[in-house]
Amino acid sequence: MQTLVNTQSPLNSGSLAGKKILLGISGGIAAYKCAELTRRLIERGAEVQVVMTKAAKEFITPLTMQAVSGRPVSDSLLDPAAEASMGHIELAKWADLVLLAPATADLIARVAAGMGNDLLSTLVLATDAPVAVSPAMNQQMYANIATQENIATLRRRKMMIWGPAAGEQACGDVGMGRMLEPMQLVNLCEEFLGEKDQPLAGKSVVITAGPTREAIDPVRYISNHSSGKMGFAIAEAAQKLGADVTLIAGPVNLATPEGVQRINVTSAESMHEAAMTHASNNQVFIACAAVADYRPEAIADQKIKKTDDNDAMTIRMVKNPDIVASVAGLTKNRPFTVGFAAETQDVEHYARGKLTRKNLDMICANDVSVAGQGFNSDDNSLKVFWPEGEQSLPLTSKQELAIQLMKLIDSQL
């Protein structure tokens, strides 16, 4: 059943008008969501060609997918009729985006291994289109080191990893592994393929990122596990969306995003000074840095020596200036001020408390107790609160999350 006749009449308007999406469905329960996903993509003007693995057809029929996509489903590498019309190489070249949803642990492993043992994995090998992978599987399978390493491999190869979300699973387990909802995938397709809009053009944003280091003596310091990835992703996103961006970076090992002005600092006091110099000349201030709340009261001139007569050592600490609260307290040229709240319990309660106490316009609650997100991970999810509203931004890469966050901030300016 393989003639690739275009029976879709693609809409010539819509955010995805004229975009060609090759939707690769593998065999997971979330495959049933693909009918809705396809309809929504087509509504927005996309052309969708569905490719199914053998196992996918156990969960949703090719007939259903043909009906919603308006095109015969491709499912076999060895179908002479299909190869005669649009063979797998043409199909691979046709796509503007290959979206693997749901991507099972098995499909992810086969793609990571570079296998071409069915039509879908062969297409992924043969395409030079960007590939987005939307994992969906049991939470234990997702947590398995093999799956995590395979996903890391795909990410290294510049494939986009969209999801998964956490929640109750079809098997009764609760945890990470649910495929993103169809509309979340549609939004990601729009962000990736849609017309490049620059809603932040003409606006300027200052971002703090990374940890601070509080010196104890010339060789020692107190710090934390922030890698800077979240703050750097926000800087990159803001720049892509058209803003002038100043990034005040603690000591991290990351390249400066293109087009971003970077100011390197080390301690909370130096970050405070840089923030106060720049914040009031800008429309938005985002405090993503993990700033040390306290610093040693005095920095020893020389390396502190271990002594034989004392098993304990006391360092007296004093409070650092609260950078985001200082910016939010500006009375002249105060920017729209966004804080983060890294929490391990009662996340919403503590985040809302900081929103009020620090006089912020918005706060991004980051649950850092969840494995695979928060400090030093590539992915993250946030719950964003502001006085009149709230929005959940589900787990995705920090780059994609940052785009969503910047659009949300823009909607509140």
Catalytically active residues, by annotation: 171
By CB under 6 A, the count of residues binding ligand PMT is 29
Q: CA-CA distance, 166 to 140, in Å (whole number)?
A: 12
Out of 347, 374, 402, 406, the residue judged to bind ligand PMT by CB under 6 A: 374
Q: Position of tokens 């919603």?
A: 68
Q: Does 341 bind ligand PMT (CB under 6 A)?
A: yes
Q: Does 339 bind ligand PMT (CB under 6 A)?
A: yes
Shorter beta-carbon distance to ligand PMT: residue 236 or 322: 322
Q: Provide DSSP, 153-183.
A: HHHHTT-EE---EEEE-TTS-EEEEEPPPHH
Q: Does 376 bind ligand PMT (CB under 6 A)?
A: yes
Q: CA-CA distance, 346 to 112, in Å (whole number)?
A: 38
Q: CA-CA distance, 245 to 281, in Å (whole number)?
A: 12
Angstrom CA distances, 13 to 34, 39, 45, 182, 194, stand at 22, 15, 6, 20, 11
| Least distance (Å) between residue 408 CB and ligand PMT | 15
Give start and end residues of each alpha helix (H) in 334-374: 347-357
Q: Does 73 bind ligand PMT (CB under 6 A)?
A: no
| Least distance (Å) between residue 46 CB and ligand PMT | 32
Stretch that binds ligand PMT, among 77-85, 136-144, 227-235, 304-312 (CB under 6 A): 227-235
Out of 99, 288, 401, 403, the residue judged to bind ligand PMT by CB under 6 A: 288
Q: CA-CA distance, 55 to 189, in Å (whole number)?
A: 25
- CA-wise closest residue to 268 among 245, 296, 246: 296
Q: Does 335 bind ligand PMT (CB under 6 A)?
A: no
Q: Which residues, including other chains, have CB under 8 Å from residue 227's CB and lie 6 or more apart? A: 210, 252, 253, 254, 375, 376
Contact characters 314-333, ligand PMT, x per CB under 6 A: ------x-xxx---------
Shorter beta-carbon distance to ligand PMT: residue 120 or 393: 393
Q: Does 229 bind ligand PMT (CB under 6 A)?
A: yes
Angle at 112 between CA 110 and CA 115, to 5 degrees: 45
Q: Does 289 bind ligand PMT (CB under 6 A)?
A: yes
Stretch that binds ligand PMT, among 73-81, 89-97, 225-233, 383-391 (CB under 6 A): 225-233
Which residues of the shown chain bind ligand PMT in the complex (CB under 6 A)? 208, 210, 226-231, 268, 287-291, 293, 320, 322-324, 339-342, 354, 366, 368, 374-376
